[in-house]
Structure 1
Amino acid sequence: MSVAFLKEESAETASETLLPPREISPHANLVTETGLKALETALADARAAWQAAQDIEDVNERRRQQAIPLRDIRYYSERIASAQLMPPPADPDVIAFGSSVTFRREDGRVETYRIVGEDEADPKSGTISYVSPIARLLIGKGEGDVVVMAGKEIEIEAVG
């Protein structure tokens, strides 16, 4: 549709309100219960932000303010629809989706991470995605096992 029919100030203003969609991972959307709740909260927050922008009188500013929430609504709706809620690990001694694992690197650093879904992963907060290279190496292993990543040994100290 031509910009002339939309009451936009310019083509530039119109393009500011058409954000590309957020990228959807090709991997299965496995989630923990916490991860699913976080997706639902993010969707509710995006809907609230979109609704709040409805009250803006200036049509161009309203569209600018609604662009990100609208994109997020589409993303989180799709992620919730495709979510596969995973049960807690069946065997507490074997690393699986949802497990916490503590390991020691060759240089002596000890790290602990919980293996979660992609949207929930935040290494700074102690969670890593199940599709991350380190998680792929660790899944199926247990305490005392050693894996090699980038030529360096990693020893699993605890599984929880």
Structure 2
Amino acid sequence: MSRAFVNEDNAAAQADQPVERQVSTQPNYVTPQGLAQLQAKVAELQSQINDQSTKGELADKQRQADLERDWRYFNHRLQSAQVVSLSASADKARIGTWVTFANEHDQQQRVQLVGEDQADATQGLINWGSPLGQALLGTSIGDEVLWSRPAGDCLIEVLDLQNSLPV
């Protein structure tokens, strides 16, 4: 087909459309806090979309498209969320459990196993599906497990499990 028959406005608009965000194939397990964060994110994005819509022709079309893409992603994550309830005792590490472990050099670290949307390594919130999350999931105090890392495997020992927020 000749370029003369292509609607250039539609072609340009399609080229500017943001690529959809990839949705993970792992189950969307979330803590109650993770669910609240997803709900807040969807509400925040909806508010920003509404703000752009009120601008009419003056709206930033690319910004609006990006916001709508993100809203679709987080709304899908919210709809597929499976809230994990915490038990009073922490006999095994599961989603929501705070795990204290030590490596081969007795360096201790404390992390909480959470869903992927809640994960933030700087806050000690580790995705349960990550290599560290998978190594810790299902462990008990005293268990030694191998954490497969890009920097090399590391033997870690589980020192403590808690189902409460850190102090």
The TM-score range, normalised by the shorter chain, is 0.7 to 0.9
Corresponding residue for 2:165?
none
TM-score by length of 2: 0.83
The one-letter code of the counterpart of 2:15 is S
Corresponding residue for 2:15?
15
Contact 1:89 1:99 in 2 (8 A): no
Query: What secondary structure does 1:28 align onto?
Result: coil
- Counterpart CA distance in 2 for 1:2 and 1:49 is 31
The one-letter code of the counterpart of 1:145 is D
- When the two chains are superposed, the root-mean-square deviation of aligned CA atoms in Å is 2.0
Q: Identical aligned pairs, as a percentage?
A: 29
Alpha-carbon distance, 1:149 to partner: 2.2
- Counterpart CA distance in 2 for 1:65 and 1:153 is 46
1:26 aligns with 2:31: no
5+ long unaligned stretches in structure 2: 1-5, 163-167
1:133 aligns with 2:135: no
Alpha-carbon distance, 1:58 to partner: 3.5
5+ long unaligned stretches in structure 1: none
Residues 3 and 57 of structure 1: CA distance in aligned 2, closer, same or farther (over 3 Å): farther
Corresponding residue for 2:54?
55
TM-score by length of 1: 0.86
1:148-159 matches, within 5 Å, as 148-150=146-148, 151-159=153-161
Query: What secondary structure does 2:102 align onto?
Result: strand
Corresponding residue for 1:100?
98
- Counterpart CA distance in 2 for 1:115 and 1:154 is 16
Q: Stretches of 4+ moved more than 4 A in 1?
A: none
Alpha-carbon distance, 1:103 to partner: 0.5
Query: What secondary structure does 1:35 align onto?
Result: helix
